[in-house]
């Protein structure tokens, strides 16, 4: 299964482009969060990594906002 992870670091950025890219990549599940570089806690990334099983593929996107 393809699993996606999307993150933005500021409130003026949106996840829309990343969501679209992960949808085009046919990710069945997508984890999203907004976290600054100063914020070391990434609960959605942690949950995403814990959900991975053998044979899964993790997809990520770089924000271009």
Band (64; pLDDT cuts 50, 70, 90): low
Q: Check residue 65 and give its pLDDT.
A: 52
**Residues taking part in catalysis:** 9
Domain ranges of the chain: 2-60
In Å, how far are 4, 5, 13, 15, 64 from 49, measured between CA atoms? 10, 9, 24, 19, 23
Q: For residue range 6-57, what is the model confidence (pLDDT) as tens digits?
A: 999 888 889 999 999 999 999 999 999 988 777 678 999 999 999 999 999 9
> Considering the domain 2-60, what is its CATH architecture?
3-Layer(aba) Sandwich (3.40)
Q: For residue range 48-62, what is the model confidence (pLDDT) as tens digits?
A: 999 999 999 999 987
pTM: 0.86
């Amino acid at each position: 299964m393809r699993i996606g992870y999307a993150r933005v670091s500021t409130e003026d950025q949106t996840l829309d482009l990343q969501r679209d890219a992960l949808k085009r990549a046919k990710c069945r599940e997508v984890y999203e969060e907004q976290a600054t570089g100063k914020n070391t806690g990434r609960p959605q990334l942690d949950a995403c990594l814990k959900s991975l099983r053998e044979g899964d593929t993790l997809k990520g996107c770089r924000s271009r906002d």
